[in-house]
Amino acid sequence: MRGIGTPITGTGGSPSGSFRILHVSTGNVCRSPITERLTRHALADRLGDPLWGGLIVESAGTWGHEGAPMEANAATVLTDFGADPSGFVGRELLDDHVIRADLVLTATRDHRAQVISMGHSAGLRTFTLKEFTRLVRAIDTATLPPLQDGVVERAVALVRAAAALRGWLLAPTAEADEVHDPYGAPLPFFRSIGDEINEALDPVVTALTGVPART
């Protein structure tokens, strides 16, 4: 069996031994920074490993505010969850980000379409966050490689299983796969979006790591 971090090729263009998760929204100052940092926080909580077994988590925006800090309300939401908002710098989505990503999770269907339109065989590894959550919930995680074989190997298998289910498990409504933009909204709305994102991330991180959230 492979140990955690043992080299294996991802689904995108990540270096051997790593698996890169890319979160995408519009400006990369609200939704995707929240999702990026909540993912990192959850992985650290589940795995207790600063390198998360080879998982790399980052974000970018289709109209990204290059070099900008995240919105203050987004940072507050992260602090509410115990996650670290410090040091964040906004990025505009580039071809290289898509090429290197093994899993792209977007805030909306429009973002998903924009990522896929960039090419680089991104279709099979690009989902909206809520779409991916819905698909992951339908996967029997007992069929995935165990954590002892490495988080990267498990992540690769999870993405392939989700892609195989996509045409069979449709959203009940178009809105079900969307995370709305809180940009310019008051803090309570940011907090509701943070709760929504955190709820969607929980089954994904559990499936990736094989470790449930602490109660």
**Along the 215 residues of the chain, how does pLDDT read in single tens digits?**
223 333 334 456 555 689 999 999 999 999 999 999 999 999 999 988 756 679 999 999 999 889 999 999 999 999 999 999 999 999 999 999 999 999 999 999 999 999 999 988 999 999 999 999 999 999 999 999 998 888 999 999 999 999 999 888 787 887 889 999 999 999 999 999 999 999 999 999 999 998 888 76
- The predicted pLDDT at position 50 comes to 58
Six-digit token string for 28: 């990369």
| Of 132, 128, 122, 130, the residue nearest 109 (C-alpha) | 128
Residue 11 lies in a domain: no
Q: Residue 88 domain-assigned? A: yes
Identify whether 1 is part of a domain.
Answer: no
Distance CA 8, CA 150 (A): 9
pTM of the model: 0.91
Report the Cα–Cα distance between both ends of the chain, in Å, rounded.
Answer: 30
CATH code where residue 98 lies:
3.40.50.2300
Integer Cα distance of 133 and 124 in angstroms: 15
Looking at residue 48, its pLDDT comes to 84
Determine if residue 201 is left, alpha or beta; phi over 0 gives left, psi from -120 to 50 gives alpha, anything else beta: alpha
pLDDT of residue 1: 27
Q: Is residue 42 part of a domain?
A: yes
How far apart are alpha carbons 209 and 48 in whole angstroms? 11
- Domain holding 183, by residue range, is 19-209
| CA nearest neighbour of 47 among 133, 125, 154 | 154
**Domains contained in the chain, number:** 1
- Residue at 188 is within a domain: yes
**12 within domain boundaries:** no
* Residue 119 confidence (pLDDT): 87
- Do the domain assignments include residue 8? no
Is residue 190 in some structural domain?
A: yes
Structure tokens at 30: 């609200």
**Per the structure block, which two tokens stand in for 93?**
């989505």
